Chain A
Amino acid sequence: MASSLRHGLTKARSHILSRTRWFSSQSDALVEAKIPEVGIISGIPEQHLRRRVVIYSPARTASQQGSGKVGKWKINFLSTQKWENPLMGWTSTGDPYANVGDAGLSFESEEAAKEFAEKHGWEYTVRKRHTPLLRVKSYADNFKWKGLPKSEE
């Protein structure tokens, strides 16, 4: 375990070193080529650095609760590796990120979420946030004179 970690670290370091060199020789425009900064040194396995994620702002629940939690931004990992565990009937997952998005990642703004995803090298799509359209309504309108009643055809 320790050796593999160290191995990973040396590999990571060599990555960084090569990256620095590469930067210095190339123009600045290439910095944009998405290299996950966090990814390399965190020891996160390679395949999880290329995750596809959705950045979205959860809609208000349809039922009549308060709106205190509305407006946060979340990152959702598209993962389908789920199965019912034959032993207990619980849900098992083969994806270490399966519960991370919902439970752990919450951002104040779309930009913050994007930045986080970029830092980790995730490929993201952003879903538009839908806000309610508030119309001016008045109870009294129900009793307003709307002209002569139309004859039912």
Chain B
Amino acid sequence: MEFLLMNHPLDCPICDQGGECDLQDQSMAFGSDRGRFTEVKRSVVDKNLGPLVKTVMTRCIQCTRCVRFATEVAGVQDLGMLGRGSGEEIGTYVEKLMTSELSGNVIDICPVGALTSKPFAFKARNWELKGTETIDVTDAVGSNIRIDSRGPEVMRIVPRLNEDINEEWISDKTRFCYDGLKRQRLNDPMIRGADGRFKPVIWRDALAVVAEMAHKVKPEEIVGVAGQLSDAESMMALKDLLNKMGSNNVWCEGNGSNRDADLRSGYIMNSSIAGLEKADAFLLVGTQPRVEAAIVNARIRKTVLAKQAQGWGPDTLLEIAERRHPFSSVLLNAKNPAIIVGAGLFERKDKDAIFSALETIAKYANAVRLDWNGFNVLLLKAAQAAALDLGLVPESENSIESAKFVYLMGADDVNLEKVPADALWFIKGIMATGVDDWKIIRALSEVAGVKLPYDTLGAIRSRIKTVAPNILNIDEREPATFSFSIKPESTKKMDSAPFGTAVDNFYMTDSITRASKIMAQCSALLLKK
């Protein structure tokens, strides 16, 4: 203990780790109450690791946990140990940023206050915070997190252990997006007046206007789009409302015009995230797990045996499907081959053809068996799976072109250029007012005269239970019962346009992260690089 504390500054009162510091705990338990060290303490220059991690390197005790995390879990060789003896330092060898989507985890990893959170620096003490254990929504992984708040304000987000999903890591987007919650929020309903300006109105008026508009158009011209962060309750209410008004054009952002919600195995991670560790060959199609789901990427990395063939275009995929590509033999020889398909493909016109090619591959590689299902779809948005479970699929593929009335429930990324100019709008931001979306829809249904039969959370949940009982099982993973073997064959042709990237900017993918200053800094650095 004395040796450890020899070069450690007596920083506790100004250190962000204070109160959750392993060294502090240890020295409280085992340390001496006075020091015998009379020499000068060493000092170390602080390193710049980017906008997320704050370093105070004199506090470092050279445990090298951060180095091991970076190399072994995150897979970047950025951190290392330099120098010898008392000149020993942790650092990036040359001044550079830590280029990992998981870099925030070194904050938790560091047992002392050498690496702390930059956005959280000097904001709060951890004993003032109240933790709420919950699930992350910034990607489709659903990492388990704890949101620490002080009073009404979110102060930080930390991971919590779940071996099936995120182990004990979370991505930087999850960890640092919270400042986006505090900015650019709508507090009142607003209506755009004749002069083009928005003016705040009370809820009753707003709902009356919307209900009136909804009745003016034909039922088929009503379209509802649920945002990527919507909860299952609101999506259920939205679908029920639109159905009651006679329209079935409702879907969730990111799912595109995907209309196969029939087979659950067609849109979930069939082998489960933890199950990916058992795989011995990976075929990633149209997906970049590093930016789409950084945590899944860490899993894949962990299973290093993988020889990955990342087909850059549909041609390669076709070659593999027809066993002309060298990778097909790898798949054939693999015991547990895993195919991961990016949900970005849902938006493509030729997606049926792609999926049938993939199914051919899965069949000959024997990827779907009773004891192993290696056909995975990596979704992008938190709401996607629930939306498909609830059957939020549009009736016609080009409903948006003929739409007159569009209900956007927090959907910001819909391509609205196709909507005819004379359409009447009802846009509702995701962060409106702190009122639950389902309550708004419920109120609207009453005003519009198509009253929905539930008015408590319990009631809406039991409605969900009749549609998709699996959603209500918190913390449980529901495997799909049928796989695609019963799906009809598709005979469509693939189009040879390369698979696009689904996520260009890891740090900004939804309205919360786009409003976040920290994420803006990160992506500015990302672009500069």
In angstroms, Cα B141 to Cα A102, docked, is: 28
Over the window 87-128 of chain B, the binary record of Cβ atoms lying under 8 Å from chain A Cβ atoms (1 yes, 0 no) is 000000000000000000001111100000000000000000
- Are A82 and B152 neighbours in the complex by a CB distance under 8 Å? yes
Residue in A59, A63, A91 whose beta carbon sits within 8 Å of that of B133 in the complex: A59
Over the window 159-172 of chain B, the binary record of Cβ atoms lying under 8 Å from chain A Cβ atoms (1 yes, 0 no) is 11111000010000
- What residues of chain A lie closer than 8 Å to B132, measured between beta carbons? 76
In angstroms, Cα B151 to Cα A83, docked, is: 8
* A60 contacts chain B at the CB level, 8 A cutoff: yes
* B204 contacts chain A at the CB level, 8 A cutoff: no
- Are A91 and B22 neighbours in the complex by a CB distance under 8 Å? no
Over the window 127-153 of chain A, the binary record of Cβ atoms lying under 8 Å from chain B Cβ atoms (1 yes, 0 no) is 110111100000000000000000001
- Are B474 and A130 neighbours in the complex by a CB distance under 8 Å? no
* B51 contacts chain A at the CB level, 8 A cutoff: no
- Are A59 and B161 neighbours in the complex by a CB distance under 8 Å? yes
- Are A62 and B474 neighbours in the complex by a CB distance under 8 Å? no
* B17 contacts chain A at the CB level, 8 A cutoff: yes
In angstroms, Cα B163 to Cα A130, docked, is: 7
With A61-B158, A90-B151 known to touch, is A127 a contact of B22 (CB < 8 Å)? Answer: no
Residue in A58, A66, A83, A84 whose beta carbon sits within 8 Å of that of B25 in the complex: A66
Q: Which residue of B lies closest to A80 (CB)?
A: B434
- Are B151 and A82 neighbours in the complex by a CB distance under 8 Å? yes
Residue in B65, B130, B161, B307 whose beta carbon sits within 8 Å of that of A130 in the complex: B161
- Are A58 and B133 neighbours in the complex by a CB distance under 8 Å? yes
CB of B8, distance to nearest CB on chain A (Å): 15
Q: Which residue of B lies closest to A60 (CB)?
A: B161
Q: Which residue of B lies closest to A150 (CB)?
A: B307
- Are A65 and B474 neighbours in the complex by a CB distance under 8 Å? no
* A109 contacts chain B at the CB level, 8 A cutoff: no
* B350 contacts chain A at the CB level, 8 A cutoff: no
* B33 contacts chain A at the CB level, 8 A cutoff: no
- What residues of chain B lie closer than 8 Å to A59, measured between beta carbons? 133, 144, 146, 160-161
- What residues of chain B lie closer than 8 Å to A64, measured between beta carbons? 22, 65, 108-111
- Are A56 and B133 neighbours in the complex by a CB distance under 8 Å? yes
Q: Which residue of B lies closest to A123 (CB)?
A: B458
* B131 contacts chain A at the CB level, 8 A cutoff: yes
CB of B22, distance to nearest CB on chain A (Å): 4
* A125 contacts chain B at the CB level, 8 A cutoff: yes
- Are B162 and A130 neighbours in the complex by a CB distance under 8 Å? yes
- Are A84 and B152 neighbours in the complex by a CB distance under 8 Å? yes
- Are B22 and A62 neighbours in the complex by a CB distance under 8 Å? no
- Are A63 and B17 neighbours in the complex by a CB distance under 8 Å? yes
- What residues of chain A lie closer than 8 Å to B133, measured between beta carbons? 56, 58-59, 127
With A62-B168, A63-B22, A90-B151 known to touch, is A130 a contact of B158 (CB < 8 Å)? Answer: no
With A127-B133, A133-B163 known to touch, is A63 a contact of B108 (CB < 8 Å)? Answer: yes
- Are B159 and A62 neighbours in the complex by a CB distance under 8 Å? yes
CB of B484, distance to nearest CB on chain A (Å): 30
Interface centre among B108, B146, B152, B158 (most CB of A within 10 A): B152
In angstroms, Cα B20 to Cα A2, docked, is: 47
- What residues of chain B lie closer than 8 Å to A128, measured between beta carbons? 474-476
- Are A62 and B475 neighbours in the complex by a CB distance under 8 Å? no
Interface centre among A56, A84, A90, A128 (most CB of B within 10 A): A128
- What residues of chain A lie closer than 8 Å to B476, measured between beta carbons? 128
- Are A91 and B25 neighbours in the complex by a CB distance under 8 Å? no
In angstroms, Cα B84 to Cα A143, docked, is: 23
Q: Which residue of A lies closest to B17 (CB)?
A: A63
- Are B474 and A127 neighbours in the complex by a CB distance under 8 Å? yes
- Are B108 and A65 neighbours in the complex by a CB distance under 8 Å? no
- What residues of chain A lie closer than 8 Å to B131, measured between beta carbons? 58
In angstroms, Cα B111 to Cα A102, docked, is: 26
- Are A91 and B151 neighbours in the complex by a CB distance under 8 Å? yes
- Are B111 and A91 neighbours in the complex by a CB distance under 8 Å? no
- What residues of chain A lie closer than 8 Å to B108, measured between beta carbons? 62-64
Interface centre among B108, B307, B475 (most CB of A within 10 A): B475
In angstroms, Cα B470 to Cα A78, docked, is: 23
CB of B203, distance to nearest CB on chain A (Å): 18
- Are A65 and B152 neighbours in the complex by a CB distance under 8 Å? no
- What residues of chain B lie closer than 8 Å to A61, measured between beta carbons? 20, 158
- Are A91 and B474 neighbours in the complex by a CB distance under 8 Å? no
Q: Which residue of B lies closest to A92 (CB)?
A: B151
- What residues of chain B lie closer than 8 Å to A132, measured between beta carbons? 161, 163, 168
Residue in B150, B151, B160 whose beta carbon sits within 8 Å of that of A62 in the complex: B160
Which residues of A in the span 12-71 have a Cβ within 8 Å of any Cβ on B? 56, 58-66
- What residues of chain A lie closer than 8 Å to B109, measured between beta carbons? 64
- What residues of chain A lie closer than 8 Å to B130, measured between beta carbons? 102
- Are B151 and A65 neighbours in the complex by a CB distance under 8 Å? no
Can you list 14 A-B pairs with a CB-CB distance of less than 8 A? A56-B133, A59-B161, A60-B160, A61-B158, A63-B21, A63-B22, A64-B22, A76-B132, A82-B152, A102-B130, A127-B474, A128-B475, A130-B162, A132-B163
- A residues whose Cβ falls under 8 Å from a Cβ of B: 56, 58-66, 76, 82-84, 90-91, 102, 125, 127-128, 130-133, 153
Further contacts, 4 of them, CB under 8 A, given A63-B111, A64-B110, A66-B22 = A62-B108, A63-B108, A91-B151, A127-B133
Q: Which 9 residue pairs spanning A and B have beta carbons closest together?
A: A91-B151, A59-B160, A62-B108, A64-B111, A64-B22, A128-B475, A62-B158, A133-B163, A63-B20
